[in-house]
């Protein structure tokens, strides 16, 4: 038998050919080669934009899509379980949607309050007293994201007219708009005035960013894009911001909106100090604070000068509100201001209750001490319409959607209507003449205008 070994450098192992005596040739391979074809991977190329196999993306409506071997599958977005947590300011955590609008979370409302021109409650619930007169930042952004600043000007009280009039002005600057809310004493009555970019306007008012409603007692401002709310009255100011938008990014007399009281009284240099010390350092840039050279006139004493009236805050009159708004800071300030103006603390607390949709008719429970005096042609209502109807139907249609809540103020008596928002006189019928001065005139009425009868 003859064995011949052929070697091929191109093959990994030799193949042996054997010749037998009978002349039969057999070939033996040392291994058997088995090749399995690779599995084909398909992308989702028809999607816009095309997607790779295994890629996931959001398709809206809280739904996630995934490309699986050329097929798009969708699943509902899963949300983590959240707990309410604790708010440093004593308020209830609010349930809010995340920025995608799919999952709920909890956040503490950042609410700053100033009342009686000297009592402060920071965003995180720290209370302090500061009574200096000048223009101060209540709210500034540490890093400008929304271009929002809110400042307050406190002026010395004026007693020249017999009754002491203490005025404060609130300035809200947002993007390119500057809104100024102030009071003026006209014919013995204090009236709210509204200016937008130095032009006087009348509530209700709205532009692309700002909505304002108001009455003789209170003015409310809303900025829809950032969900900011401001409430202004003769005795108090309230500012509410979302922690999800402004968390850890506010400074000023209202403190830092971060659910911690430890850094609320921070000076512009970042140093944490006592509140009364840091508050005086937030003077608006360019303002010169000039203190009076003569002692200020003491505010008139309210009679009876007794803190007992403050017990109303802890009584059944405000009981429904105790569940949603802590009353202690307002009770303490009421007792402290009992001989000056205890009504300011009760009014400030009642306004907080109203913002929490707990509406109270509390003034008639104070034996006339906190009664609000309206002009002769109007009546006081604790629960009046936010936007009263007028004789102008186009105006009524335009602001109908804004009339969704109630507001404290002076309103036309029953069976009468506001003439228009510029001349808010009460008329028994809208079928009247309009004089050259823009005021309504009854049929047969005569008047003198520019020396002409």
pLDDT at 101 (0 to 100): 81
Give 214 or 150, the one with higher predicted confidence: 150
**What is the band of 138 on the pLDDT scale with cuts at 50, 70, 90?**
very high
The whole-chain average pLDDT of the chain stands at 82
- Is the confidence at residue 327, as pLDDT, over 50? yes
**Percent of the chain with pLDDT strictly greater than 90:** 43
On whether the CB atoms of residues 1 and 16 are closer than 8 A, the answer is no
| CB-count exposure of residue 231 (10 Å: 0-12, 13-18, 19+) | buried
**What is the band of 383 on the pLDDT scale with cuts at 50, 70, 90?**
confident
Give 434 or 100, the one with higher predicted confidence: 100
On whether the CB atoms of residues 360 and 315 are closer than 8 A, the answer is no
3 state SS for 396-437: HHHCHHHCCCEEEEEECCCCCEECCCCCCCEECCCCCEECCC
- Is the confidence at residue 229, as pLDDT, over 50? yes
pLDDT digits (tens, 9 = 90+) for 4-28: 444 444 444 444 343 344 444 444 4
Question: Collapsing DSSP states into helix, strand and coil, what is residue 395?
Answer: helix
User: Which range, of 13-22, 180-189, 388-397, averages the lowest pLDDT?
Assistant: 13-22
Residues 6+ apart with CB under 8 A from 213: 203, 204, 219, 220, 386, 387, 402, 407
**What is the band of 295 on the pLDDT scale with cuts at 50, 70, 90?**
very low
**What is the band of 452 on the pLDDT scale with cuts at 50, 70, 90?**
low
As given in the structure block, the two tokens for residue 161 are: 């007219």
Average pLDDT (316-345) is 90
User: In the chain, what are the domains?
Assistant: 108-279 (3.40.1000), 307-365 (no CATH), 379-441 (no CATH)
Give 235 or 122, the one with higher predicted confidence: 122
pLDDT digits (tens, 9 = 90+) for 239-278: 999 998 999 999 999 999 999 999 999 999 999 999 989 9
On whether the CB atoms of residues 398 and 390 are closer than 8 A, the answer is no
- Is the confidence at residue 404, as pLDDT, over 80? no
**Percent of the chain with pLDDT strictly greater than 70:** 79
- Is the confidence at residue 56, as pLDDT, over 60? yes
CA distance 400 to 407: 15
pLDDT digits (tens, 9 = 90+) for 189-208: 678 899 999 999 988 899 99
On whether the CB atoms of residues 106 and 84 are closer than 8 A, the answer is yes
pLDDT at 444 (0 to 100): 62
pLDDT at 329 (0 to 100): 92
CA distance 172 to 195: 10
pLDDT at 282 (0 to 100): 95
pTM of the model: 0.78
As given in the structure block, the two tokens for residue 80 are: 């983590």
DSSP string for residues in 206-219: E-SSEEEEE-SSEE
Helix, strand, coil % (nearest 5) of the chain? 15, 35, 55
CA distance 420 to 396: 10
pLDDT at 15 (0 to 100): 41
pLDDT at 19 (0 to 100): 39
**What is the band of 38 on the pLDDT scale with cuts at 50, 70, 90?**
low
Region class of 4: left (phi > 0), else alpha (psi between -120 and 50), else beta: beta
**What is the band of 2 on the pLDDT scale with cuts at 50, 70, 90?**
very low
As given in the structure block, the two tokens for residue 77 are: 């977005």
Residues 6+ apart with CB under 8 A from 250: 110, 123, 139, 140, 141, 142, 241, 256, 257
Most confident of 209-213, 302-306, 438-442: 209-213
pLDDT at 395 (0 to 100): 81
pLDDT at 280 (0 to 100): 93
């Amino acid at each position: 038998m003859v064995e011949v070994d052929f070697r091929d450098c191109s093959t990994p192992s030799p193949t042996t050919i054997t010749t037998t005596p009978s002349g039969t040739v057999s070939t033996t391979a040392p291994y058997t080669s088995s090749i399995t074809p690779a599995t084909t991977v398909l992308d989702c190329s028809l999607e816009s934009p095309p997607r790779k196999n295994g890629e996931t993306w959001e398709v809206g409506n809280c739904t996630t899509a995934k490309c699986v071997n050329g097929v798009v599958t969708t699943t509902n977005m899963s949300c983590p379980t959240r707990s309410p947590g604790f708010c440093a300011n004593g308020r209830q955590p609010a349930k809010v949607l995340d920025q995608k609008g799919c999952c709920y979370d909890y956040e503490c409302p950042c609410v700053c309050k100033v009342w009686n021109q000297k009592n402060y409650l920071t965003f995180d619930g720290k209370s302090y007293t500061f009574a200096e007169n000048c223009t101060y930042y209540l709210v500034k952004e540490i890093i400008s994201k929304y271009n929002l600043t809110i400042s307050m000007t406190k002026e010395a009280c004026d007693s020249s007219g017999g009754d002491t009039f203490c005025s404060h002005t609130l300035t809200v600057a947002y993007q390119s708009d500057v809104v100024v809310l102030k009071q003026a004493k006209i014919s013995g009555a204090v009236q709210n005035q509204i200016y937008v970019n130095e032009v006087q306007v009348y509530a209700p008012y709205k532009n692309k960013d700002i909505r304002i409603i108001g009455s003789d007692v209170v003015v409310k401002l809303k900025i829809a894009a950032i969900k900011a709310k401001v409430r202004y009255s003769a005795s108090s100011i309230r500012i509410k911001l979302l922690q999800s938008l402004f968390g850890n990014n506010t400074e000023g007399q209202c403190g830092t909106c971060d659910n911690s009281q430890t850094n609320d009284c921070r000076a512009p240099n970042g140093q944490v100090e006592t509140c009364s010390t840091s508050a005086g350092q937030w003077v608006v840039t360019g303002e010169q604070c000039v203190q009076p050279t003569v002692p200020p006139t003491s505010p008139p004493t309210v009679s009876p000068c007794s803190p007992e009236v403050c017990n109303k805050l802890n009584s059944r009159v405000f009981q429904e509100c105790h569940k949603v708004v802590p009353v202690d800071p307002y009770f303490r300030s009421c007792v402290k201001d009992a001989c000056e103006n205890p009504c300011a603390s009760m009014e400030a607390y009642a306004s907080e209750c109203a913002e929490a949709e707990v509406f109270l008719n509390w003034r008639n429970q104070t034996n006339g001490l906190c009664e609000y005096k309206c002009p002769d042609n109007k009546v006081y209502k604790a629960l009046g319409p936010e936007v009263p109807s007028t004789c102008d139907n186009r105006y009524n249609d335009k602001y109908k959607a804004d009339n969704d809540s109630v507001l404290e103020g002076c309103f036309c008596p029953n069976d009468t209507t506001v003439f228009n928002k510029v001349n808010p006189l009460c008329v028994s019928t809208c079928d009247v003449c309009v004089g050259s001065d823009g005021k309504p005139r009854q049929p047969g009425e005569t008047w003198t205008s520019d020396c002409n009868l």
